[in-house]
Copies of this chain bind each other. A is one copy, B any other.
Amino acid sequence: MVEYPPAPPLSVSRWFNSEPLDLAGLYGRPVFLHTFQMLCPGCVQHAVPQSLKVAEAFAQTDLAVIGLHTVFEHHHAMGPESLAVYLHENRIRYPVGVDAHAEGDPIPLTMRSYALQGTPTLMLIDRAGKLRLKHFGLVDDLRLGAQIASLLAEPAR
């Protein structure tokens, strides 16, 4: 039987569209966590529009949809004030956190603890807080819909 690891906690320096939240507080709900950078073409053209579709398609369920802005390059152009504009222009209303930086490290903390390769990366976390999917790059809609519904169908523990 496959054992999945617990999803590491998020290190967030600022939240948009939400009070501060953490994964522990979401225990019991499946979580769709997508990491992006606001100037990464694959994020902007594909992953973020898909995340907006996910938020809408599963609005009647207890899925938690969360964005994480993991800036690891061009930091001066993707600060929180710029992100606020990006969220506004793209009508993103679900919680989005800014991945926190340790002093002197261009790679942010959550990106390090999840060992992400780049953006966009999609994570799915189950009701028990286990990391069930970590996918770098684009995901097909049909398979993504199925994976989310599978997590939703699992019993709370």
Residues of A in contact with B (beta carbons under 8 Å apart): 38-41, 44-45, 49-50, 53-54, 57-58, 74, 76-78, 81-82, 84-86, 88-90, 140-150, 152-154
Q: Is the CB of B142 within 8 A of A54?
A: yes
**Copies of this chain present:** 4
Task: State how many angstroms separate the Cβ of A44 from the closest Cβ of chain B.
Answer: 5
Considering the chains assembled together, what is the distance between the CA atoms of A49 and B149 in angstroms? 22
Q: List 22 A-B contacts (CB under 8 A).
A: A39-B82, A41-B90, A45-B49, A57-B146, A58-B146, A74-B88, A78-B85, A82-B82, A140-B141, A141-B141, A142-B144, A142-B145, A145-B145, A145-B147, A145-B149, A147-B149, A148-B149, A149-B149, A150-B152, A150-B153, A153-B153, A153-B154
Q: Is the interface of A mostly helix, strand, loop or mixed?
A: helix
Which chain B residues border A50 with CB–CB below 8 Å?
A: 142
Which chain B residues border A86 with CB–CB below 8 Å?
A: 39, 77
Given A45-B45, A77-B84, A150-B152, 18 new contacts (CB under 8 A) = A38-B39, A39-B85, A39-B86, A44-B44, A44-B45, A45-B49, A50-B142, A54-B142, A57-B140, A57-B143, A74-B85, A76-B81, A82-B82, A141-B145, A142-B145, A146-B146, A148-B149, A150-B153
